[in-house]
Structures are given as C-alpha cells and as structure tokens.
Amino acid sequence: MNVWMHAALGILAGLAIAIPARAAPPSPDEIARLSAATEARVIDWRRQIHQHPELGNREFRTSALVAEHLRALGLKVTTGVAHTGVVALLRGALPGPVVALRADMDALPVTEQSGLPFASKVRATWMEQDVGVAHVCGHDGHMAILMGVADVLSRVRENLPGTVKFIFQPAEEGPPPGEEGGAALMIKEGALREPVPAAIFGLHLNSRTPLGKAGVRPGPFMASGDTFRIVVRGAQTHAALPWLGVDPVVVASQIVMGIQTIQSRQVNVLQEPSVISVSMIHGGQRANIIPESVELVGMIRALDEGMRQDIQRRLVTTAESIARSAGASTEISITPNYDVTRNDEALAELGTRSLRRTLGDANVFLNPKVTVSEDFSAYQKVVPGFFFFLGVVPEGTPAEKVFPNHSPQFWIDERVLGVGVKSLANLTVDFLSQGQNSR
C-alpha cells in the first residue's frame, strides 16, 4: 500500500470519527416517562382552567396562562390570534417536517352541577342573558393535555426531527353573535402559515368512550353543522277569531313536523347519517292574541357534502310550501358553521398504529360516525388532519352517573390527561420521524 492510500484511509477514518451518528427520535418509553413526570402539573392546569372558564373570544385569563407556560419552555409564542388565540413554535434540533397540534379554549354558557371542589362559579353575559359558564365539553382537558405535550417535547428537542406548531384556539363552540372567531379566523389570521404544517392533529375527550380507550376513524368522522332560521309570517288576530287572520303558530308547528320527514323519508338513510333539529321557537306575547310571526331556529347535521346541500334545499322547499298552503310567508336563512370532520386516510392509518403502540391494541377501536360537529374540520380543508376521541369514564360506571358532553353534570376521570399527553406526544414524534430510523 503506497503512502497516498495510507493518507486517504487516515482521512476517511478521521471523518468517521468526526461525524456523529444521527440521534434516534425519542422512544415511546422516554415519552411515557416524561408524560408521567408532568402529569401532576397537567392535572393542576386543568383544574385552574376549569375553575375559571371563559366564553368564546373572551379567553383572556386562559390564553395568558397558556402563553406564560409556553414562553417558559423557550418556545416562540404569538398571542392575540383570532382575538385570544395562542400559537407557539418548537423547533427540533434535527431536520424534519412541520406538524400542528390544536386545542380549543372556550367554555359554554352552562351552569355547572358537577359538585367538584373546583367547580366553576363564573357567570357572564351571553346573548343578553346572565348565564353560568362552565367547561362541560372537555376543552379544559384538551388545553392541559397540549400544555403537557409542549412540556414533554421541549425536553427532547435535541432528538426531535422537525418543528411542532402548538395552536390554542378560541371559540370552537362558535363566536358571539356578530363576531368572527374559531378555527376559520385562526386560519384567516395566519395560524397555518410561516411555517405551513404538513399535517395537523387534535383530540377530543368523550364521555361515550371508556377511560383510556381511543376511538379512531378514517374519512368522514364528525358531521357538518349548519344553522337555519325560519321566520313564519301570518296575520295577527284575536285568539277567539283565528279565521280572521293567519296563525303562524300552527304553520310553524306544521313546518317542524314537515322537516322531520326530510331525514326520515326523503334522503337515503343507508348512505350517511343526518339529523335535523329545531332547538328554539319564539313567538307571541299574550294568550289571547295570535301573533304576527313565529321564529324557528335549529341545525342540520350531515356527513356527506352532497346530502348536506340536498337537505338544505329540501328544508327551504318544505317550509315555503307549507307556509304558502296556509296563506303565510317565510324568511329563511341557512348559515354554514362547521364542515364535515374528515380524517386523512394515510394520517388515520399512522395515527391508529401510533395509538395502538401507546395504548395497546385492545384500547383502540373503530369509532362509529358521529353527528356532532367540530370546527377542527376547517383546518382539514387547508392541510391533511387526523382527529380522534379519548374516553373519560371508567368502564363499569353506572349509567346514571355518566353524563354527556355539554351536560351541566359532565365530568372526566383525570387519569385520561396523562393518557392524552403520551398519546399525542407519541403521535407527533411518529409523524415527524417518518423516514427516520424505525422506532
């Protein structure tokens, strides 16, 4: 071997020593250990938020708590997005894609009846009414979980490939009347820009799912939600002389019954689930006066875009035709609120595998389609997304002690918070480390 060959081999050996092996992404065991270490703080955050709930676009105290925590982790934090939203960036030390994680922050105008020692006693004004305010949909848990995920991932950033964007969003339940808000405004104000995520993940605590189990579903998962308002106009008269006027109360009642036949008799119930609900009826001032008008307000839910449009058309036709047959008239408006929450097929496959590794095969199941709505769907129209349910009630709990989301008695077993942190953190790492060495 000549002197040049010796020199070349020496240089190569030096380079091999100088270039370190690529760091492996954080392991599930490491994520589990860090998640367990932060669980007490996550529970404390949840209780603080639960005791001090705030309505949509008014989450001032909540967003300040979130932002303070994220800044303490050394993240780049932007506040005031879509009124009170918070967006933070965690850049891993290794190259990789960008993923977004979202939690919703708003509470509901409900007076809490849980009996918890940290139950809400907050009151506020909603639609000109004095109301109780409470976290009875699990948003307090969603925030605490995402704060925990930020804590866990910030501790492994040296081994983290890519960037994590944390999105804390106001007004998921809808902004106050006359205001913009929610996911749509977050997107409009740049939450999905600079940098643009390749995917977005979210979860929802669900009282219909047993504790520690995850419900997943590719494709259409949660329904669209469109609000309709029908004003029926008749001719006011004395209640003793109905033939001298046109009774909008009777016509409105016929419309309520008529539009129920859309879902039960006019659309193919084998194609996708759908629901039409009238939830408010207003009209009249005195028992002896047939009023001039009655207002109906409700929502249409559908899991297929074609059915969604078809149901809207049929609702208008039905209401107008019934009113015309009685000599009344209608004013009808339909406001789109939520699109179908549709999970990307590839992300759902990745998410299911990740959740099974974290929770065990027996604790991950194919969730039925559901007719409630989620404005996470707005993000999914911009970037691919995956959304899943986590159960909050231990199996064997008596049915009379299980209360649905939005019930004033809604409660969660706080053990779900630790499950949520490690599930979402592992899912994030699994997505970011695609193409890296197998975990």
Overall pTM > 0.85? yes
Q: Both tokens of residue 289?
A: 């006066």
User: How confident is the model at residue 351, as a pLDDT?
Assistant: 98
Are both 166 and 259 inside the same structural domain? no
In a domain, 23, yes or no: no
Asked if 127 contacts 93 with a C-beta cutoff of 8 angstroms, the reply is no
- Mean pLDDT for the stretch of residues 220-241: 98
**230 pairs with which residues across the strands?**
296, 332
305-325 and 248-261 helices, crossing angle to 10°: 150
Are both 328 and 424 inside the same structural domain? no
The CATH number of the domain holding residue 293 is 3.30.70.360
Are both 165 and 85 inside the same structural domain? yes
Are both 45 and 139 inside the same structural domain? yes
In a domain, 94, yes or no: yes
Per-residue pLDDT tens digits for 49-64: 999 999 999 999 999 9
Are both 304 and 367 inside the same structural domain? no
Annotated catalytic residue, options 112, 272, 338, 374: 338
The owner of tokens 């579903």 is 217
Are both 315 and 426 inside the same structural domain? no
Domain termination residue (choose one: 281, 315, 338): 338
Are both 279 and 424 inside the same structural domain? no
In a domain, 363, yes or no: yes
Per-residue pLDDT tens digits for 333-356: 999 999 999 999 999 999 999 999
What is the number of structural domains in the chain?
2
Q: Both tokens of residue 77?
A: 């934090």
State residue 259 phi and psi, 5-degree precision.
-75, -15
Reply yes or no: is the peptide bond before residue 53 cis, omega within 30 of 0: no
Band of the pLDDT at 10, cuts 50, 70, 90? Answer: low
28-51 and 345-359 helices, crossing angle to 10°: 100
Burial class (CB within 10 angstroms; exposed 0-12, middle 13-18, buried 19+) of 79: middle
Asked if 281 contacts 296 with a C-beta cutoff of 8 angstroms, the reply is yes
Which element (helix H / strand E) includes 421? helix 415-432
Look up residue 68 and give its amino acid.
E
Average pLDDT score over the chain = 94
Which element (helix H / strand E) includes 50? helix 28-51
In a domain, 13, yes or no: no
∠218-204-423 over CA atoms, to 5°? 80
- Residue 3 reports pLDDT greater than 60: no
Look up residue 177 and give its amino acid.
P
Are both 230 and 379 inside the same structural domain? no
Q: Both tokens of residue 121?
A: 């006693």
Range of the domain at 87: 28-221+340-432
Rounded distance between C-alpha atoms, residue 116 and residue 409, angstroms: 10
User: How confident is the model at residue 390, as a pLDDT?
Assistant: 98
3-class DSSP assignment, residue 79: strand
Decide if 338 is catalytic.
Answer: yes
In a domain, 11, yes or no: no
User: How confident is the model at residue 269, as a pLDDT?
Assistant: 86
Are both 334 and 344 inside the same structural domain? no
In a domain, 4, yes or no: no
Per-residue pLDDT tens digits for 218-227: 999 999 999 9
Rounded distance between C-alpha atoms, residue 117 and residue 121, angstroms: 11
Q: Both tokens of residue 254?
A: 């016929």
- Residue 127 reports pLDDT greater than 90: no
In a domain, 14, yes or no: no
Q: In percent, how much of the chain has pLDDT > 70?
A: 94
- Residue 161 reports pLDDT greater than 50: yes
**Which one has a higher pLDDT value, 232 or 269?**
232
Are both 196 and 53 inside the same structural domain? yes
Are both 180 and 142 inside the same structural domain? yes
Per-residue pLDDT tens digits for 263-272: 999 999 889 9
Band of the pLDDT at 9, cuts 50, 70, 90? Answer: very low
Are both 207 and 346 inside the same structural domain? yes
- Mean pLDDT for the stretch of residues 289-310: 97
Domain termination residue (choose one: 338, 367, 383): 338
The owner of tokens 């033939």 is 243
- Residue 378 reports pLDDT greater than 90: yes
Decide if 414 is catalytic.
Answer: yes
Band of the pLDDT at 30, cuts 50, 70, 90? Answer: very high
Query: How far, CA to CA in Å, does 123 sit from each of 171, 176, 410?
Result: 17, 16, 18
